[in-house]
Chain A
Amino acid sequence: MAMTTATAISVQRRPHWWQQRTLSRFLRHRLALIGLIVIVTLTLACVFGPYLLPHDELTVDLRARFSPPLTDDFYLGTDPLGRDITSRLLMAGRISLLVGFSVMLISTAFGTLIGVIAGYFRGWTGVVLMRIVDAFLAFPSIFLVLVLSAFVKPSPFMITVIIALTCWMEIARIVEAEIRSLRERDFTVAARLAGASARWIMFRELVPNAMGPIIVAATLTIANAILLEAYISFLGYGIQPPLPSWGNMLNSAQQYLTNAPWLAIVPGITITLAVTSFNFIGDGLRDALDSRSDLQ
């Protein structure tokens, strides 16, 4: 009797095709895949594209100023100096993507180092390090980046260092939390009993086991770094002309918004596309690397 009631309750309307979890997971991963394809294509275009285009990114052609997209062989139009936007966009991509990747490498390495030390040596070392992380997190990152970039000569290298300086805290936090739980696990205790040094345990035992969250955070850091570079270059404190970056291409766009909206639209869409792709990849990696994500 009880059995039949239970069966009766469990009979539900069959879920529609879009309600099935497998499908939604597949879709999310497909987005990550699309993101990866976009990034690879964009990178290849930025590396090889400029050699194939009819105009280079610095040639000024005052007769062709403000040409809208698809004028002659200016596929995406020209800027206020008559420079070809297509080739500027691709050359800018080299800088912006390079800054993004470099920031990711520097801040992930630094953040992981701080996080591992803080998580492994609890007590005063850990407390002091994590309070420093908190202190850096209290400044809105764009404020900090702007102040620092106003002080230094804004070369692409310095911009990278400055952005990295404001991007390592999140990773340090994630790694610290991860290490704190890993250091109590049996394999760590076993390594310690076997006489392994603290350095060995930290970098050979703990860090490899925390690699999943680190990779995810690193991917999202690229997205963040590209956005930050765009912000400060737009405001005029980032990559300096004539070197193009996606941010500084937008620098003069507001001025000519009425008559030449493509100046704003083309780089803006490219930034959004690149950042969205990295965010999708990060999200896909999170699903792939973290078995718990299935429950969420």
Chain B
Amino acid sequence: MGRYLIGRLGQSVVVLFLVSLIGFMILNLAPGGPLSQFALTPGMSQADIQRLAVQMGLDRPLIVQYIDWLGRLLRGDWGESFRDGRPVLAIIVEHLWATLLLMGTSMAISIVVGTLVGIAGAIRRYSIFDYLATVGAMVALSIPTFWFGLVAIYLFALKLAWLPAGNMITIGDGSVLDYLHHLVMPALVLALVNVAIWSRYMRSSTLDVLHQDFVRTARAKGLPRYRVLVHHIVRNALLPMITLGGLQLPTILGGALVAETVFTWPGMGRLFLDSIGYSDYPVVMGILMLSAIFVLLGNLLADLLVALADPRVRLA
């Protein structure tokens, strides 16, 4: 177990290092480099820009800059926003929890619904329900999230007026119920794709378990059907789902960005888009790095959970 852990951790550190390298390269890829923003400011002469470059250490060799940048990143100094000069990390953390609320709710919905649909499809394989779920999942995977959001807004906010069209709270309200009211539509829209993915994997994972010897043994012992299903089949079928949950993180984060735009949800995705609009590269880079770290940690955590839950992994 310890050895497995160390190996897995080492791998993540290597990937994280590569992630930082890609991030740094992208930042310097910006036409004119990180200073291109200032070149547009009226009254800024070439000499001023030169002076700024020296002041910010941009005249040094790239490798030195990279090491310096990485060092400060590790110490929690993610730079200052071009827009208002505040520390990048503080700005991101401010927006982070809104995104986590949206993602968490949506993930919870999709795990519950997706798991149930997947199990039902596997048990009644080739039934009409299974067939509809299969086709439905494939169509759901093909619908652009933002467009589905627009349709939902049109139906439930504009035509039926059941739900608010956007934002996280009504100004002047802000009770728990008000939050929930605003959360329902974006969370459900974001969940659609994930329900589709989750149910497909759960179906095939359940099918894998369904015909294994220990299930036959449990049945032969005369255990009640639901007991075999819950304790033997589902428990084992859920194992690969933990890994999948980790692997789905980038998709969910990307989906959150799009959903936040359509529903004017004040999270990290909105901040990301606004910052791109303002060419606020330090914030853009900060979010990019943070989301990659988030994804890697998620994968690592998923692998750990699998190792804890499944003794076979530790031996492998």
Query: Which residues of chain B from 206 to 254 have a CB within 8 Å of any chain A CB?
Result: 207, 250-251, 253-254
* Choice from A135, A234, A257, A278 contacting B158 with Cβ under 8 Å: A257
A144 to B276, CA, bound (A): 12
B135 pairs with A146, CB closer than 8 A: no
B139 pairs with A257, CB closer than 8 A: no
Chain A residue nearest to B273 (CB atoms) is A235
- The answer to whether A254 and B19 touch (CB under 8 A), given A19-B127, A230-B144, is no
- The answer to whether A143 and B288 touch (CB under 8 A), given A137-B250, A138-B295, A258-B158, is yes
Chain B residue nearest to A145 (CB atoms) is B254
A140 pairs with B295, CB closer than 8 A: yes
A138 to B147, CA, bound (A): 25
A136 pairs with B22, CB closer than 8 A: yes
Contacts of A134 in B (CB 8 A): 11, 15, 18
* Stretch of B24-32, B48-56, B68-76, B108-116 contacting A (4+ beta carbons < 8 Å): B24-32
A135 pairs with B126, CB closer than 8 A: no
A151 pairs with B31, CB closer than 8 A: yes
Contacts of B273 in A (CB 8 A): 146, 235
Chain B residue nearest to A35 (CB atoms) is B138
- The answer to whether A138 and B131 touch (CB under 8 A), given A146-B272, A231-B258, is no
B131 pairs with A142, CB closer than 8 A: no
A264 pairs with B154, CB closer than 8 A: yes
Interface residues as binary, B161-191 with A (CB distance below 8 Å gives 1, 0 otherwise) = 0000000000000000000000000000000
Contacts of A271 in B (CB 8 A): 144, 147
* Choice from A20, A31, A227, A264 contacting B151 with Cβ under 8 Å: A264
Contacts of A132 in B (CB 8 A): 18
A284 to B299, CA, bound (A): 31
- The answer to whether A141 and B144 touch (CB under 8 A), given A131-B18, A237-B276, A279-B138, is no
A147 pairs with B150, CB closer than 8 A: no
B135 pairs with A31, CB closer than 8 A: yes
Q: Does B279 contact A (CB under 8 A)?
A: yes
Tell me the count of chain A residues lying within 8 A, CB to CB, of chain B: 53
Best-buried of A140, A231, A235 by chain B (most CB within 10 Å): A140
**What is the distance, in angstroms, from B14's C-beta to the closest C-beta of chain A?**
5
Contacts of A28 in B (CB 8 A): 134
**What is the distance, in angstroms, from B157's C-beta to the closest C-beta of chain A?**
9
Q: Does B98 contact A (CB under 8 A)?
A: no
A18 pairs with B151, CB closer than 8 A: no
Contacts of B151 in A (CB 8 A): 264-265, 268
Contacts of A218 in B (CB 8 A): none
Q: Does B160 contact A (CB under 8 A)?
A: no
Residue numbers of A with Cβ under 8 A of B are 18-21, 24, 27-28, 31, 131-132, 134-144, 146-148, 150-152, 223, 227, 230-231, 234-235, 237, 250, 253-254, 257-258, 261, 264-265, 267-268, 271-272, 275-276, 278-280, 283, 296
Residue numbers of B with Cβ under 8 A of A are 11, 14-15, 18-19, 21-22, 26, 29-31, 126-128, 131, 134-135, 138-139, 141-147, 150-151, 153-154, 158, 204, 207, 250-251, 253-254, 257-258, 261-262, 272-273, 276, 279, 284, 287-288, 291-292, 295-296
